Amino acid sequence: ILLLVNKNDTKVLIPDNAIRFRIIANSNSIEDQKEKIEIRNELEPIIADILNNSKSKEETKNEIDLNMNKINNVINKYDSNYNINYGLNYFPEKNYKGVTYKAGNYESLVVTLGDGLGDNWWCVLFPPLCMIEAEDSTDVEYTTMAKTLIDKYF
């Protein structure tokens, strides 16, 4: 289990068996980063809809498998070569809203655009932390919402 502590000492445990989602840009060029964000913006509501009724890790995995064509259909609209991998994938350390997520191999859905040499975007699909990533939330609000969702599912 990964222990997260924000600057106000609110502790949040991200379960090791959470499912992550990552989109890696082809490069850090303005065009490639823009494409990554456009794909993310199109995929987020589709994935939210797919996972709307998932109440367990197994249900989440099954829904991703059953709906992979919807994910592919979005990415196919773009001119990029891409690869989608569901399984154990490496994630670098990430700091978000005062919380550090450890580097390591995590069960995840990873979309790699082109050469996959650019900056990435990621979130947690299960528990559904992707849905609370509102940019205007404070560190404390984010940590509180994350803890509520984790407590609900684990």
Most confident of 2-16, 55-69, 122-136: 55-69
pLDDT in tens, 91-106: 887 766 655 677 888 8
pTM confidence score: 0.79
Confidence (pLDDT) at 83: 95
Cβ–Cβ under 8 Å, residues 17 and 57: yes
- DSSP letter assigned to residue 68: H
Q: What would the 3-class secondary structure string for 94-137 be?
A: EEECCEEECCEEEEEEEEEECCCCCCEEEEEEECCHHHHCCCCC
- Report, as an integer, the average pLDDT of 7-14: 51
